[in-house]
Amino acid sequence: MLADVRPDEPVMQEEIFGPVLPILTVADLDEAIAFINDRDKPLALYAFTESDTTKRRLAAETSSGGLNFGLPMHHLAVPTLPFGGVGESGMGNYHGRYSIETFSHRKAVLDVPLS
- pTM for this predicted structure: 0.70
Distance (Å, rounded) from C-alpha 57 to C-alpha 29? 9
Distance (Å, rounded) from C-alpha 98 to C-alpha 84? 10
Residue 29 has pLDDT above 90, yes or no: yes
Average pLDDT for the chain:
81
Q: Does domain 10-103 have CATH number 3.30.420.40?
A: no
Write the pLDDT tens digit of every residue in 73-114: 677 777 777 676 666 656 666 666 666 676 677 777 777 888
Domain boundaries, the chain: 10-103
The radius of gyration of the chain from alpha carbons, rounded to an integer in Å, stands at: 18
pLDDT average, residue stretch 24-53: 90
Residue 54 has pLDDT above 60, yes or no: yes
Distance (Å, rounded) from C-alpha 87 to C-alpha 41? 6
**pLDDT in the model for residue 100:** 67
**pLDDT in the model for residue 99:** 66
